[in-house]
């Protein structure tokens, strides 16, 4: 998506050859107008899939999930990373290793909010090694619901997540795929759009 690539080129901060920060408009400060346009693009790509629910993971997936849900007219469910005494006892759980935070944690979703009739669209801000997305896939599969696709704002094409998920046969839509970070330049995969 051209608009997104331009914005990344303009506003992302290159931290290292593996890390770009987009916290000025996507995942700390949020440019809501801009994200609305990304949400609309997800709708364009998945609108024929009869989505009944959008699943994401706290915290930085929530914004894009909410905005996309406005187009799909469905509820959002976000997986929780921490144990809360307010969570139901019956949950679907999966283990996720976070490279950013360098620890493993459980993610969970109340069993009440995923049903075998559901057609789930999984959305998140980033796809890198894919651990969080695979955790969400695992949770949806436990519930018996169908995974209709996965969407990511930014995919790091040089990491393993995209390959692993595509191998599983899912429709994966990443609005910008970073092929390489070369010095101070971000090189995107050029896909026909």
Give the interface with a second copy as residue ranges (CB under 8 A): 15, 19, 21, 23-24, 28-33, 36, 58-59, 62-63, 66-67, 69-70, 73-78, 80, 82-88, 100-102, 109-110, 112-113
Is-contact 67 126, C-beta < 8 A?
A: no
**Closest distance to a second copy from the beta carbon of 14 (Å):** 12
Q: Specify the residue, 42 or 113, whose C-beta has the smaller distance to a second copy.
A: 113
**Closest distance to a second copy from the beta carbon of 118 (Å):** 11
Is-contact 26 19, C-beta < 8 A?
A: no
**Closest distance to a second copy from the beta carbon of 187 (Å):** 21
Look at the alpha carbons of 109, 114, 116, 120 in this order and tell me if their dihedral is positive or negative. negative
Task: Please state, in angstroms and rounded to a whole number, the distance separating the CA atoms of residues 154 and 164.
Answer: 16
Residues listed for the chain: 193
Beta-bridge partner residues of 53: 120
Q: Specify the residue, 148 or 172, whose C-beta has the smaller distance to a second copy.
A: 148
**Closest distance to a second copy from the beta carbon of 105 (Å):** 10
């Amino acid at each position: 998506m051209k608009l997104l690539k331009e914005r990344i080129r303009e506003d992302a901060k290159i931290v290292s050859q593996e890390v770009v920060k987009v916290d000025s408009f996507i995942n700390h400060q949020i440019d809501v107008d801009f994200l609305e346009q990304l949400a609309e693009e997800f709708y364009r790509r998945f609108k024929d899939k009869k989505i009944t629910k959008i699943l994401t993971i706290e915290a930085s997936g929530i914004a894009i999930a909410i905005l996309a849900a406005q187009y799909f007219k469905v509820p959002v469910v976000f997986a929780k990373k921490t144990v809360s005494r307010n969570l139901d006892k019956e949950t679907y759980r999966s283990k996720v290793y976070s490279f950013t935070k360098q620890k493993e944690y459980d993610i969970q979703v109340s069993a009440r909010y995923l049903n075998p009739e559901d057609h789930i669209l999984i959305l998140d801000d980033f796809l890198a090694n894919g651990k969080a997305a695979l955790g969400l896939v695992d949770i949806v599969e436990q519930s018996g619901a169908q995974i209709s696709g996965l969407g990511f704002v930014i995919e790091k094409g040089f990491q393993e997540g995209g390959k692993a998920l595509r191998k599983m046969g899912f429709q994966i839509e990443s609005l910008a795929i970073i092929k390489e970070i070369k010095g101070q330049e971000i090189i995107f995969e050029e896909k026909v759009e």
